[in-house]
Amino acid sequence: MAVVLTTCFILKDLVQHVKDTLPQLPDELLSILTANTQSGGYDLTTKDAKTLMSLDDGDRLEDYLEVVWLLRNEVYGHLNPGELVMDQIGKLAANWYVSSFLV
């Protein structure tokens, strides 16, 4: 039995497109959700982050991230620099989401 291997060329543009459009891996997403806000995270507990990731098979997570983004941008203009509210938006939104969708 003979095996024939052929050459396959993949363009760099295709590789970049795949990298740009693939969703984040669960472990990577979990570390972002649990990281503190100073490092770009959401400062959630592991339990809350996993709960958010599992709501409707992860479909609710995108909504949560958008809510946090909108709140941070809306609230940011009305706060003095360094106020604790900015650090708490991720936790507050997660608590609301989890309590609303698990009932």
Where along the chain do its domains lie?
25-101
Can you give the pLDDT at residue 85?
65
Mean pLDDT of the region 73-80? 70
Banded model confidence at residue 39, pLDDT cuts 50, 70, 90 = confident
**Rounded alpha-carbon distances, angstroms, from residue 52 to 16, 40, 70, 101:** 29, 18, 18, 10
Residue 80: pLDDT band by 50, 70, 90 thresholds? Answer: low
Name the band, by pLDDT with cuts 50, 70 and 90, for residue 83.
Answer: low
